A and B are shown apart, each in its own frame.
Chain A
Amino acid sequence: SAVISQKPSRDICQRGTSLTIQCQVDSQVTMMFWYRQQPGQSLTLIATANQGSEATYESGFVIDKFPISRPNLTFSTLTVSNMSPEDSSIYLCSVEGGTTPGTEAFFGQGTRLTVV
């Protein structure tokens, strides 16, 4: 199984500022996924981060607001830009795993973001 280290674990930020969240995996993975969980809600995929190419964003999410970097096969960052209180959420990174591809998906501990 993959071990994912995500940081920061939580932060309180002023509106209009940006926060970069880091995700480090203990093994090389092709794809990394970034999810958002708004308060009391389910998880929604923001984007898929592929090493060596642009991230693929889901409907409703744009690169200017959520720029993603993927410099190598074990690391990715998600930036939440020009934050507003509506961005207050838990942000989670995830990787596919399992001895058989696609049979497990592992998550980082999450970043609990509060925008004031």
Chain B
Amino acid sequence: AQKITQTQPGMFVQEKEAVTLDCTYDTSDPSYGLFWYKQPSSGEMIFLIYQGSYDQQNATEGRYSLNFQKARKSANLVISASQLGDSAMYFCAMREGSDYKLSFGAGTTVTVRA
């Protein structure tokens, strides 16, 4: 079974608007961590934000925020005030327990329009 599901292959967003990228996960481990990465066309993986399963508050990092709904097993990424440089592939990933290896979703391509 897929551990991480990203159902949006691609999204378009107008510059300066907000965009929400969906991510659902599946795990039976009560301790886990959720990550979001940005991958521009250059191929590097840029860490954006992290949410731990025991964190009480939703994570935020600048224009990035994570809408964590534990009961629904979702960890959606919200990018506010989109910029042209936000155009990239975005991956949701999860680690489980004390294991540091990551399972990745299929990714969502975001294209920001001027």
Q: Which residues of A contact B (CB under 8 A)?
A: 31, 33, 37, 41-45, 48, 90, 92, 94, 96, 98, 101-107, 109-110, 112
Among B55-114, those with CB < 8 Å from A are: 91, 93, 95, 98, 100-107
Contacts of A94 in B (CB 8 A): 45, 102
B12 lies within 8 A of chain A by Cβ: no
Q: Is the interface of A mostly helix, strand, loop or mixed?
A: strand
Give B residues with C-beta under 8 Å from A. 33, 35, 37, 43-45, 47, 50, 52, 91, 93, 95, 98, 100-107
Name which of B33, B37, B95, B101 has the most chain A CB atoms within 10 A of its CB.
B101
Across the two chains, which residue of chain A brings its CB closest to B107? Answer: A42
Q: Judge whether A96 and B100 touch: CB under 8 Å.
A: yes
Other A-B pairs beyond A103-B33, A103-B50, A112-B43, 17, CB < 8 Å: A31-B100, A33-B100, A33-B102, A42-B106, A43-B102, A44-B104, A45-B102, A92-B45, A96-B100, A98-B50, A102-B100, A105-B100, A105-B102, A107-B45, A107-B47, A109-B43, A110-B44
Q: List 17 A-B contacts (CB under 8 A).
A: A33-B100, A33-B101, A42-B105, A42-B106, A43-B93, A43-B102, A45-B101, A48-B101, A90-B43, A102-B33, A102-B98, A103-B52, A105-B47, A109-B43, A109-B44, A110-B43, A110-B44
